[in-house]
Structure 1
């Protein structure tokens, strides 16, 4: 029997469908908010979590630098932690970015759907700034 391989988007959808209902609603809203920022944002499962990356053309780089990665969700029962592997490049929209890691990561924490809606504009601006700094 041939096993059908799901597309990246189908894998993300299937992953979210396995979450508790309240978390599903929050993650779906957050997913849609991120994807709607720009057409060059794509999604897949990375580190067993929904992740978002720049899908456009870029100069060559060492894949261990994670320059293409925008955001990886870390889903927990009481919050959604979003890891921005290169979030330190974002300078102007840092109200929601937390942490000062030497590897350039920054975090955004969301408690629930209401918290996501409250921080959505700041999230969108931070992602737009990140996209403007991509090495094309």
Structure 2
């Protein structure tokens, strides 16, 4: 099977972001690993502009080579997705949230940063449809920031 360009190794023969994530997930020990893999699939399938790599010791999803959504496995209560505009504070941080979150899934820590928490298999199932909507909105609004 021919791999999409975002999955191929680069010229230095360094593992691609996709390969980095596969290796990371293979070694990951987490009680919700299947749920993490399901959330990853949802994000990757939501938009063909999304690529992935490892950032902050977790899979991170990018658009235009800019990190936009990153897993966070810290804490004992499941896992989180951090919706952000990179590691530096933006002009949007002190303003209203970048997107209208009709889903009610996001917890805003700044105008340009929100967190979505998953605590169980059923929680992932319950949020699956709305997650796709939130990802699409976030990518649309942040892709050029």
Give the root-mean-square deviation of aligned CA atoms: 2.5
Note closer, same or farther for the CA distance 1:6–1:135 as it changes in structure 2 (3 Å cut). closer
Among candidates 103, 109, 113, match of residue 105 of structure 1: 113
Within-5 A mapping of 1:14-93: 14-20=23-29, 22-55=31-64, 68-76=66-74, 77-86=76-85, 88-93=97-102
| Length-normalised TM-score, structure 2 | 0.73
| Length-normalised TM-score, structure 1 | 0.77
- The residue number in structure 2 matching 1:8 is 17
Are the counterparts in 1 of residues 83 and 138 from structure 2 also a CA contact under 8 Å?
Answer: no
Q: Distance in 1 between matches of 2:102 and 2:20?
A: 31
Q: Distance in 1 between matches of 2:144 and 2:19?
A: 29
Structure 2 residue runs of 5 or longer lacking an equivalent are 1-12, 86-92
Structure 1 residue runs of 5 or longer lacking an equivalent are 57-67
